[in-house]
Each structure stands twice: as C-alpha cells, then as structure tokens.
Amino acid sequence: MPPKKMPNSEERDARAASPPHVPSSDAPPASVCFRPEDITMLIDTLQRTQLDAFRELLDSVRQSATPTFDHRPANNFSRCKSVFSGRADESVEGFIDAIESYRDAANVPDDVAVKGISMLLTHTAATWWQGIKHQVSTWEDVISNLRSAFGDRRPPHRIYVDLFADGQQPMEKTEAIICQIDHFCVRPL
C-alpha cells in the first residue's frame, strides 16, 4: 500500500471551509451525554442571559415611557371660572355645586381650597369673606357659612307657599316648574 499523502495547507483550508459531513438519515443518531453539572450550568447561563435581556428591555421601555409634557396639576382655584358676588339674583347653591365639582376634578386639598376661595368671591361676597375668613378653618365651614350668609333663609313652609302661589303659567313648561320644585326640595335646611 502506498504511503498516505499528507494534506497541504490549501487542502486543509478547503476542508475547513466546506460544511461538515451530515450523516444520512439511515444512520443511527450519535449519542450525546451531559453531566448534571453541565446541564445546571447551561440553565443558569440561559436564565442570566434572559434576565439581562429583560432588564435592558424594561429600562428602554421606562426611558421611552417618560412623559415629555409638563404636567403640573393646578391643585387650586386659579383656573376655576365660577365666581360669586353675593347678589340676590345669584344662586349660592349653583356656585357651591360648581366649586365642589371643580375641587373634586382638580384634586384641590381642603386647606388649599379654604385659602383659595377668596379668588372666586367678588363684591359683597368678597367683603363678607374678608370679615369671616379668620374664623373658618375647614372646607365644610366655608360651605356652611356661604349657605348661611347667601342661601335662601325662608322656612320650608314659606317656600312651599311661594312656590305654588302662582301655579304654572299658560306658556310655562312643566319641566321648568319641576326643576324649580326640585331645586327647593333638595336644598339643605
């Protein structure tokens, strides 16, 4: 038998570049054995890699989710459009309803609301507030004092008599009368 020829460097490079030999499908699969330590190390490595990837993804989401707009809640009455002057033709209940709704929507704390109510009062109501503001410490006191000073002070039976004295006029809508009755029936006594 002739001596085996040693491959030169070109042949070795060509073999290294060619794909590895894939056994045919009729050949039995090669048996691969892993030690338990190898499997544990492989699982630990995969878990660390996934955890690192998750942290990077979470950091990028947090950075991109940061709002760029300037969101400073008012938390006071500076943007409230309701004002009350204390005139007889103004409804103190309508004013109270408006400022309560605004206060709830803008999350105005009670102590800030007590200090800021003066921004919403004009004329007679502003003068009245200047006289009692040092005696008022809670929001409930503000509402109670507003109703006491500017609300309807007639006793319930007098309101009933006044409400039904004229009755419904020929061109007056029933809904208007019902609203008027509801207004007087739900007012705090």
Give me the domain span that covers residue 136: 80-151
> Largest alpha-carbon pair distance within the chain?
135
User: How many domains, the chain?
Assistant: 2
Q: Are residues 119 and 174 in the same domain?
A: no
Same domain, 143 and 174: no
The reply to whether the predicted model has a pTM over 0.85 is no
Print pLDDT tens along the chain (189 aa).
555 565 565 665 555 555 555 555 666 666 778 788 888 888 889 899 999 998 998 888 887 766 655 555 558 888 888 899 888 888 888 899 999 998 888 888 888 888 888 889 999 999 999 999 899 989 999 999 888 888 877 777 777 787 777 777 788 888 887 777 776 665 554
Q: Are 96 and 103 in contact (CB under 8 A)?
A: no
140 and 175 fall within a common domain: no
Q: Residue 99: inside a domain, yes or no? A: yes
Buried b (16+ CB within 10 A) or exposed e, 152-185: eeeeeeebeeeeeeeeeeeeeeeeeeeeeeeeee
Distance CA 102, CA 81 (A): 9
CA distance 8 to 113: 93
Please tell me whether residues 160 and 140 are part of one structural domain: no
Q: Are residues 161 and 103 in the same domain?
A: no
